[in-house]
Amino acid sequence: MSPIDLEAFNTVVQAILVIIAMGCATGVITSFFKHRRFKGGQAPDIAARFDDLSERLARLDTAVDSVAIEIERISEAQRFTSKLLAERAGTPALPERARAGGSTTPH
């Protein structure tokens, strides 16, 4: 390498090191303020809202599970009904005596 190339290389390496150091410092400062804000204790209304949200999410989870179970029951009944109808497809729709003569209505 020529002396100019070595000087340019050193400048680039120094710039990269400065950028990395600034990124690390920014991360440390950001995490310090973030943890400091939540460590000091939350306002009572915010904590109550979080508790309310967690209770609502628990109820929603229970409701979704119940709906999933009911949907599974409905689909199982649908499969059973489809199977019965498929097996019954070979049998006639009406008994032979009803087909032979006239109307089957009670009036």
pLDDT over 80 (residue 94): no
| Domain boundaries defined on the chain | 8-41, 43-87
Task: Output the CA angle 55-57-58, nearest 5 degrees.
Answer: 65
Average pLDDT, the chain: 81
| pLDDT surpasses 70 at 13 | yes
Instruction: Report pLDDT for 85.
Output: 87
pLDDT at position 48: 83
Q: What is the pLDDT of residues 50-78, one digit of tens each?
A: 889 999 999 999 999 999 999 999 999 99
Judged by average pLDDT, the poorest of 13-22, 51-60, 70-79, 98-107 is 98-107
What is the C-alpha R_g of the chain? 38
